[in-house]
Amino acid sequence: MSEKTIPLLPCQAIQPVTDFYTALGFKVTYLQTAPYAYAVVERGDIQLQFFGMKQYDPAASLSGCYVLTDGVDTLYESFRSGLKAAYGRIPRRGLPRIGPLKDMSYGMRQFLMTDPGGNGIRVGQPAGDDMTFRAAPKETFARALHMAELFADSKEDLPGAARILDRALARKDERPTPGQLVRLLLLRADIALRMYDDELAARLRARAAGIDPSSPPPPE
């Protein structure tokens, strides 16, 4: 016996979705406009199917799927190139968007992208043989970075990630090492950018640029 699972995903309008996946190198192998909108896109062994719902709100979508690959770095660069060619830029916020490629604490090297229909597509591959979930560090700032990355780049909860980092940066009883401080500031800047707060992102990046991450830790 041989089985295959094919995600069936909603969208408000079919055309923006098929245009998005075409930019990523997919082919539209089926397109139906009546009695209801329906489309199938394929790229290699990846197949996604979509159905149209006029009253659907892409911004409130919780639908998505996980695509496993043995070439996540190659797909990431290919997708980014395709999006830049189609949109004139690499969209990092709003709809559609593509996030950073990262090694996650649960053993996957992955990136997240969201199509115009609001569907979250996670693309990843095992980062090694050990798939054991890595526990959060106990040290204050290492833990903040660990948790904020999970919220931002796995759960895609940007406000939650921002709160974690803001609490860490505001601590008076402990101070991060210069290297930790740079990482905290840059991650917070990235989240601010993705939340359309360009002014805050610029201030945080400027602050990070003035810190030597290799300098000695601050005195207790």
Tokens in use for 47? 């197949």
Hunting for tokens 């991060």 — which residue is that? 176
> When comparing pLDDT for 220 and 57, which is higher?
57
Q: Assess whether 33 and 105 both reside in one domain.
A: yes
On the question of pLDDT at 218 being above 70, the answer is no
23/116 same-domain check: yes
Q: Of 80, 95, 126, at which residue does a domain stop?
A: 126
Residue 131: band (very low, low, confident or very high) from pLDDT cuts 50, 70, 90: low
Task: Please report whether residue 3 resides in a domain.
Answer: no
40 contacts 26 by C-beta, under 8 angstroms: no
Dist CA 194 CA 38 (whole Å): 31
Q: Which domain holds residue 188?
A: 140-209
Domain identity same for 118 and 144: no
**pLDDT at res. 214:** 83
pLDDT digits (tens, 9 = 90+) for 149-162: 999 999 999 999 99
Q: Is 72 domain-assigned?
A: yes
Q: Based on the fold, state whether residues 111 and 189 are members of the same structural domain.
A: no
Segment 111-119 mean pLDDT? 97
**And the tokens for 66?**
């996980």
In a domain, residue 220? The reply is no
Same domain, 114 and 15: yes
State which H helix or E strand residue 65 sits in.
Answer: strand 64-68
pLDDT band at 183 (very low <50, low <70, confident <90, very high): very high
Confidence at 135, pLDDT banded by 50, 70, 90: confident
How confident is the prediction for the chain on average, in pLDDT? 95
Residues 20 and 113 in one domain: yes
Give the gyration radius of the chain's Cα atoms: 20
Q: Is the pLDDT of residue 219 over 70?
A: no
Q: How large is the average pLDDT for residues 41-69?
A: 96
How confident is the model at residue 93, as a pLDDT?
95
Q: What domain count does the chain have?
A: 2
Q: Residue 216 pLDDT > 80, yes or no?
A: no
State whether 199 and 153 are in the same domain.
yes
What CATH number is attached to the domain comprising 97? 3.10.180.10
